[in-house]
Amino acid sequence: MTTNPLLAIDDLPRFDAIRPEHVAPAIDALLADADAALERVVSDAVPADYDAISAVLSVATERLGKAWGAVSHLNAVADTPALRAAYIEALPKVTAFYTRQGGDERLYAKYRAVAESPQATRLSGPRRRALANSLRDFVLAGAELQGAAKRRYAEIQERLAELSQAYSEHVLDATDAFAYYASADELAGVPADVVQAARAAAAREHKDGHKLTLHFPSYHPVMQYASDRALRRQLYSAYVTRASELGPAALDNSAVMLEIVRLRHEEAQLLGYRSFAEESLVPKMADSPQQVFDFLRDLARRARPYAERDLDELRRFAASELGIDELQAWDLPFAGEKLKEARYAFSEQAVKQYFTEPKVLTGLFHIAETLFDVSIHEDRASAWHPSVRFFRIERAARDAAQATQVVGHFYLDLYARPGKRPGAWMDDVRSRWLRPDARRLQTPVAHLVCNFAAPVEGRPALLTHNDVTTLFHEFGHGLHHLLTQIDDIGVSGIAGVEWDAVELPSQFMENFCWEWDVLKRLTAHVDSGEPLPRALFERMVAAKNFQSGLATLRQIELALFDMRLHAEPGSEADIQALLDGVRREIAVVDAPAFNRFQHGFSHVFAGGYAAGYYSYKWAEVLSADAWSAFEETGALDAETGRRYREAILEAGGSRPALESFKAFRGREPSIEALLRHQGMA
C-alpha cells in the first residue's frame, strides 16, 4: 500500500508513477477516510468550531480531492483504455460521496451551530464568507426540507438527471442519424481537407461520393464555404430540426423539455422561490431576473443599429456579388465568410509565421512580471509527457532580511496528441491554504492545458492568433488561482467566485493579444525574425469586430429565451411561442418557421447554463470594463497592475465579485467599454 502514489501526495502528485491499478485501492481508501471524517465531524467528539471541523473534514476531503484530481487529469491528458476503465469505475463512488456530504443534515446543523456561536463574530472576513457559502449550498441542496417535501426534492433530482441525460442522447443520436453523400460538384468552394475527409468517410462505408454529417467539423465548413445553395439549405434544415417533432418520434425532445422546466420550477418552489430563475441566481452575481432582463434589453437596444447595419451590408453584398436576392438563414455563414474575405483579406497561415511559441511565452511571462510583481522560472517536477513543462512563480524579497517567496507553480501542457482531450482549460492541482493540520501555508499549483499543433523537427511550434488568445485566456484563470493571498481553502483563488464573474480574469488577459505595443513584442517571423507588420495587424483588428452587432443580438436572443423560460412559470407550456416572441423582440434576421433550435439547446436543457446563459455577456462587461482601466493608463502600467492584482486576483472568492470590481474600478461596472471594444459605440 505504501507504494501507491495516489496515497502519498504530500507535495506534488508523482504523475509518472501513477498506474491504472492504483486508482481503485487508493480511491476506496480515501473515500473510507472521508466518510469516517464526516461521521466524526458530526459527532459530539468535534466541537462546533471552524478550525476543529476543518482539521478533520477539510483535511480528509482535500486528500481525496487531490488524488481524484490527479486521476481525472490523467484521464483527460493521457487517456488509455485501462485508465479510463479505472476512472469510470471510481467515478460514481466519488460523486456519491460529494452528494452525501452536500445534503448531510447533521453537517449542516454543525455549520449552523458555528454560525450562531459567539465565535462567529470573531471569524475573519474570508472565513465568514466561506461559512456563509457552505450554509447557502446546504439550503439549495434541500438540507432544510422535511418529510414529504424532502422526499419530493430527492425524486426531482433523480428525475432531472435522467431527463437531461435523455435530452443529450436525443441530440447526439439525431446528429448521428443524418448523413448525406454529396458529389464533388456539390462541394464546390469547400476547403480541400474537408472534402478529403468527407471522401474518406464515404469510402470507409464502401460508398460513392462524400459523406457530410451534422457534426461540427463537417457541418460548419459546408455552411461557411459551399457555394451550392440547395446543399446548404438541406444541411441547415436537418441541423435545426434535430431532436424535434419534425423528426423521428423516439428522438423528440418536446416532452423532455416540458418536464425539465416544470420540475425545475417545482424544485424552486419547494425551496421557497417563485421561479427557477430566482433560485439559479442565488449563488450568482446578478441579483434578480429583472436585473438580467434589464441588462439584456439595454444591450440589445444598443447593439440593434449595428446589427441592422451588418445585415444591410450583407444583403447588398449577397445581391450584387453572390446573386442571392433574398438572404435566408442558410446563406448567412456563407455570405458572411465571402464578405469578410473580400473586405479584410489576410490568411491565418501568414499570421501564424510570426507567433513562435518561445517568443509568445516569453512575452506572456513578461506581462505578468511587469504588472503583477512576480518572476516566473522554469522548474522540475514529475509529469505525464516529456513535452510538459513546469514553472515556479516567485515574489522578490522586500529587503535583504527577507527571502524570496514562492507564490505557486504551474504545469504547462501545450500540444495536441493522441489520448488527450481537445480544448483548453485551467485546473487546480491544489489550492492556497493555511493548513489546520500542519499550521503551514500550502502554495497553489495549477494545470494549464492547450491543444496546439506540436513543433515539427527543428522548428519552434507556430501558434495561430486564436491559439495565442486561448493561451492568454487560460493563463488568466491560472493567475486567479495562483496569485490569491487568501488562506481559506473555500474562498482562495477561484473557489467561491460567483459563476457569472469567474471569466473576468481570463477574458481580461485576452485583451493583451489585441494591443499593438504588446503584440509586436510577442512576434518574430519564424524565418526572418521580423515583427508582425502593422498593416497586417490593422486588418486583424478590423476583422475582429466583423458583424459584432449580429453576433451580439444572437447571444441576447438565446440568453433572453433562457431567462424568460425559467423566470415565467407556465411559459414552458408553449416553448415555441415563447421563443417566437423573443425573436420578434430581439432578432433582426427571421428564423424559418421550421427552425427548432430549442430542441438542441443543450447548454440550458442538459448543461449547467439554465437561467445562466446570460453569463457570457455579463462577464464580458466586467472584463472589458476592467481592461478599460489599462487603456487609460497604458497596458503595461505597473501601478494599475498592482491595483488589479490586489483587488481582483488576490481577493479571489473572499468577497462578492461586485465588491472586488468596485475596489479596482472605484465604481459599478459599465457596459460602455464592451460596446466600444466590439465596435458598437
Which residue among the candidates 62, 474, 557, 650 is catalytic per the annotation? 474
Contact 333, 544 (CB under 8 A): no
Shortest Cβ distance from residue 371 to Zn ion (Å)? 19
Q: Which is nearer to Zn ion, 425 or 546 (CB)?
A: 425
Q: Which is nearer to Zn ion, 253 or 506 (CB)?
A: 506
Candidate segments 42-50, 203-211, 502-510, 622-630, binder of Zn ion by CB under 5 A: 502-510
Shortest Cβ distance from residue 550 to Zn ion (Å)? 24
Residue selected from 506, 548, 615, 623 as contacting Zn ion according to rule CB under 5 A:
506
Closest CA to 282 of 646, 658, 611: 611
Contact 368, 376 (CB under 8 A): yes
Shortest Cβ distance from residue 522 to Zn ion (Å)? 20
Q: How, if at all, do strands 405-415 and 445-452 pair? A: parallel
Candidate segments 79-87, 503-511, 525-533, 566-574, binder of Zn ion by CB under 5 A: 503-511
The grid cell for 583 is 425573436
Q: What's the rounded Cα separation, in Å, for the pair 484 and 541? A: 33
Is 474 among the catalytic positions? yes
Q: What are phi and psi of 643, to 5 degrees?
A: -65, -40
469 in contact with Zn ion (CB under 5 A): no
Contact 448, 420 (CB under 8 A): no
Candidate segments 51-59, 219-227, 293-301, 506-514, binder of Zn ion by CB under 5 A: 506-514
Q: Which is nearer to Zn ion, 506 or 511 (CB)?
A: 506
Q: Which is nearer to Zn ion, 58 or 506 (CB)?
A: 506
Q: What's the rounded Cα separation, in Å, for the pair 132 and 545? A: 42
Q: Which is nearer to Zn ion, 426 or 647 (CB)?
A: 426
Shortest Cβ distance from residue 620 to Zn ion (Å)? 12
- Neighbouring-strand partners of residue 377: 392
Q: What's the rounded Cα separation, in Å, for the pair 413 and 390? A: 9
Query: Which class for 53: exposed (0-12), middle (13-18), buried (19 or more C-beta within 10 A)?
Result: buried
Cβ contacts of 612 within 8 Å, gap of 6 or more = 280, 284, 499, 500, 562
Cβ contacts of 168 within 8 Å, gap of 6 or more = 602, 606
Q: How, if at all, do strands 405-415 and 433-434 pair? A: unpaired
Q: What are phi and psi of 54, to 5 degrees?
A: -60, -40
Query: Cα Rg for the chain, rounded, in angstroms?
Result: 26
List of E strands, 205-328: 210-212
Candidate segments 185-193, 505-513, 521-529, 624-632, binder of Zn ion by CB under 5 A: 505-513
Q: Which is nearer to Zn ion, 279 or 510 (CB)?
A: 510
How many Å separate Cα 312 from the centre of its chain?
33
Q: How many CA atoms lie within 13 A of 294 on its CB side?
A: 7
Count other C-beta atoms under 10 Å from residue 147's C-beta.
Answer: 7
Shortest Cβ distance from residue 484 to Zn ion (Å)? 17
Residues touching Zn ion, count (CB under 5 A): 1
List of E strands, 355-475: 375-379, 389-395, 405-415, 425-430, 433-434, 441-442, 445-452
Candidate segments 113-121, 240-248, 499-507, 523-531, binder of Zn ion by CB under 5 A: 499-507
Closest CA to 479 of 464, 493, 467: 493
The residue number whose beta carbon is nearest to Zn ion equals 506
524-553 footprint of Zn ion as x/- string (CB under 5 A): ------------------------------
Residues at the site binding Zn ion, with contacts judged by CB under 5 A: 506
Q: Which residues are catalytic?
A: 474
